[in-house]
Amino acid sequence: MVGLNMQDLEFTHGGYVADNGQTWFAEIPSFSPGFSVGIVGEMYLHKNFSLRTIPSLHFGERRVVFRESNTGEEEKFEVKSNYLMFPFDLKISSDRINNYRPYLLAGIAPTFDLSKKNQSPVQMKPLDFYLEFGFGCDFYFPYFKFIPEIKFCLGLSDVLNHEPNILDQSLLKYTNSISKATSRMIVITFNFE
């Protein structure tokens, strides 16, 4: 499996006011595409149902922009993530029509962030769980199957490290302005079986 991913974070702001009266809000204004690679494993339960796992690596980054509510001042930070993902999905396929077969899938994926910690005020916890759903289509060729797929991954836990290990303590005002951060990811892949 090879493909592209777009990583995102959904922030919940806590209304933290710094000592100087500043209030900061975080957002990710644009997506940066990343690279995905993995190995496909599938077990057929019935002609239309199968269990599938694709242990995979997802390399990417997010560009977080903090804006001060009164002055509009901006600060930008990059958050790199290298996810090792172990999804377990139920794949529901239609009957084969000529040489193609569309399907839907849903499942859960434990995920480990392998990236090294940086000096950004937005630091992630290493473990998360994603709820996955998506769709794709099996295209049958004489010697292999080609499978384009789109999958949406929604993080289920707060991944923000609320006590980051950073040297510059003045950056804590950015961390404290966020009360919760959940991960989201869109993955577009091309599987070869």
Structure token pair of residue 32: 């940066």
Q: pTM surpassing 0.85?
A: yes
Between CA 189 and CA 137 the distance in angstroms is 11
CA distances from 50 to 6, 41, 90, 103 (A): 27, 10, 6, 11
| DSSP designation for 156 | -
Tens digits of pLDDT across the chain (193 residues): 999 999 999 999 887 887 778 888 888 888 889 999 999 999 999 999 999 999 999 999 899 999 888 888 888 988 888 999 999 999 999 999 999 999 999 999 999 998 876 778 888 889 999 999 999 999 999 999 999 999 999 999 999 888 877 777 778 888 888 889 999 999 999 998 8
| Cβ(80)–Cβ(61) below 8 Å | yes
List of residues 6+ apart from 2 with CB closer than 8 A: 35, 36, 37, 189, 190
Q: Where are the beta strands (DSSP E) in the chain?
A: 2-13, 24-27, 33-38, 41-46, 49-53, 56-68, 74-85, 88-93, 100-113, 127-140, 145-155, 178-192
Phi-psi region of 148 (alpha: psi -120 to 50; beta: other; left: phi over 0): beta
Between CA 78 and CA 124 the distance in angstroms is 12
Per residue in 130-155, pLDDT (tens digit) is 999 999 999 999 999 999 999 999 99
3-state secondary structure of 51: strand
